Amino acid sequence: MSFDLSVFSNKNILLAVTGGIAAYKSAILVRRLKDYGFNVRVVMTHGAQAFITPLTFQALSGNPVHTELLNPEAEAGMGHIELARWADLLLVAPASCDTLAKFAAGLADDLLSTLYLATKAPVWVAPAMNQQMWAAKATQRNLNTLVEDGVHVIMPDAGSQACGDVGLGRMPEPEHLADQVKDYFHQAQRAIAEKFGLLAGKRVTITAGPTREAIDPVRYISNHSTGKMGFAIAAACYSAGAKVTLLAGPVSLDTPNGVKRINVSSALKMLDESMKQLEEGCDIFIATAAVADYRVAEVAEHKIKKAGDELNVALIKNPDIVATIAQQKKRPFMVGFAAETRHVEEYAAGKLVAKKLDMIACNDVSRTDIGFASDQNAMTVFFAEQYQMEKRDLEKASKQEIAQQLIEAIHDALHHEIEPV
């Protein structure tokens, strides 16, 4: 799965580090959170500073480290109340036995315990301590209190401990904690998208990449499509709240997060899967795949051996997938793509009408700065006559940006259709 990490760039993680040998893991945790794009600030208790220095966290987070409740310099900049307001999540890792007790008792005698009471952000604790301290009735009673108060407790791992004991009490690995934070914010954003996104509740099927038409067991006919544009559109549709199925030709791309991927090879298999999606329910069909126009009439059972200077192979026409779907009785909103090398807009406008599409996006693949192998694209979008919408020129930009603009165009068309007279 691939994630668009830019979505986390406006999320603030306040990481609190308390006293314990596991504090060294928190340095790695900061790095992993930063890798995901989060803004990170660190709070350290006095006990934590006995195990690792504030300078380490300042270097890793790129922000000053907060250690004192009553610090004149801190109060002049970001006081404890402002720090509490800044956080989108307060993550305490490691969370010592003492810290859990303070939280449960409602004490506010240092910076961290004050932040705990002052923040409206969700609070997560990752306890780390000796196995007997973890099992102690008082600790378990404090944990139960915190859970009742809405604190999310990340269970410790079992294993060898610094003191020589073996049992529960090890702080989970930093990568695991960072993944939990990432998944939490992703799910929260997904819930918002499913309710308020431009394509909220829509079922979208997208075809992407090339097809391969076999000549014999080792040879095939194909094209230069990389699938990048289709995959970018799939990711954008999912971010816009849609349920997305991606019918992917043979490409080397990671599946966008949250997208259901079905791998296909030939045009006939892509058509078969497209029809299945139509039967299962499809509101929008986006055909970005570069489907081979022809296939070999008779595929050789074994590898064809060289036997002369020429090889004649009979080709027959493949079905037009987007036109076939558009002709169905219960047709979805149809979006076609036209990759041309000349007369781009003229050919695209003709396809829009001939294939009975609702919308078509066209680009000039003869340009070396956009198109198949490039990470950038530029397109012109045409709409069917009944939408009464002018064409849109999408200037050169990343394929992710173009994808977002295409989603906006689809949304606008869906809400702009004029009923036939």
Q: Which helix (H) or strand (E) holds 73?
A: helix 72-76
Separation CA 252–CA 273 (nearest Å): 20
**Tens-place pLDDT, residues 382-403:** 999 999 999 999 999 999 999 9
| Residue of 148, 158, 145, 152 lying closest to 181 (CA atoms) | 152
The secondary structure of 212-263 as a DSSP string is: -EEEETTEEE-----SHHHHHHHHHHHHTT-EEEEEE-S---PPBTT-EEEE
> CA distances (Å), 391 to each of 333, 349, 404, in order?
17, 10, 17
Look at residue 368 in the predicted model and tell me its pLDDT: 76
User: Is residue 38 annotated as involved in ligand binding?
Assistant: no
377 close to 203: Cβ distance less than 8 angstroms: no
- Fold adopted by 198-415: Rossmann fold (3.40.50)
Q: Which of 163, 237, 282, 362 is catalytic?
A: 163
Instruction: Check the annotation: does 293 bind a ligand.
Output: yes
d(CA 187, CA 191): 6
Q: What whole-number distance in Å separates Cα of residue 83 and Cα of residue 87?
A: 7
At residue 3, the pLDDT reads: 53
Pair 215, 206: CB distance under 8 Å: no
Which residue, chain included where needed, has tokens 């409602």?
Answer: 106
Give long-range contacts, CB 8 A cutoff, 24+ apart: 364-370: 364/340, 365/339, 365/340, 365/341, 366/341, 366/342, 369/396, 370/396
Interval 32-43: pLDDT, tens: 999 999 999 999
Contacts of 329 (CB under 8 A, 6+ apart): none
- 321 assigned to a ligand binding site: yes
Task: Classify domain 12-160+167-185 at the CATH superfamily level.
Answer: Flavin prenyltransferase-like (3.40.50.1950)
Q: Is 217 annotated as a binding residue?
A: no
**Cβ burial, residue 72 (10 Å; 0-12/13-18/19+):** exposed
pLDDT at residue 180, rounded to an integer = 97
CA-CA distance, 376 to 157, in Å (whole number)? 45
Q: What's the angle, vertex CA 46, arms to CA 42 and CA 51, rounded to 5? A: 80
Evaluate whether 12-160+167-185 and 198-415 have a shared fold.
yes
How many CB atoms sit inside 10 A of residue 168's CB? 18
Per-residue pLDDT, 420:
47
Q: What is the model's pLDDT at position 1?
A: 54
What is the spatial distance between Cα 357 and Cα 198, in angstroms, rounded to a whole number? 21
Residues linked to residue 166 through DSSP beta bridges, in sequence order: 160
Q: Is 362 designated active site? A: no
pLDDT, position 73: 62
| 134 class by beta-carbon count within 10 Å (0-12 exposed, 13-18 middle, 19+ buried) | buried
- pTM, two decimal places: 0.79
Q: Show the tokens assigned to 419.
A: 């009923």
Predicted pLDDT of residue 277 = 96
Quote the longest CA-to-CA distance of the chain.
90
pLDDT of residue 89: 98
Per-residue pLDDT, 74: 55
Report how far residue 393's alpha carbon sits from residue 411's, in angstroms, rounded to the nearest whole number: 16
Classify residue 292 by its DSSP letter.
-
Query: Is 120 known to sit in a ligand binding site?
Result: no
> How far apart are alpha carbons 36 and 191 in whole angstroms?
20
Structural element, H or E, at residue 91: strand 89-95
Segments making up each domain of the chain, as ranges: 12-160+167-185, 198-415
Task: Note if the bond before 127 is cis, omega within 30 degrees.
Answer: no
- Tell me which residues of the chain have a pLDDT lower than 70: 1-7, 71-79, 371, 417-421
Cβ distance 284 to 335 under 8 Å?
yes
Known binder of ligand: residue 183? no
Cα first-last separation, the chain? 47
pLDDT given for residue 81 in this prediction: 85
240 backbone φψ class: left, alpha, beta (φ>0; ψ -120 to 50): alpha
Note the pLDDT of residue 239.
93
DSSP code for 66 = B
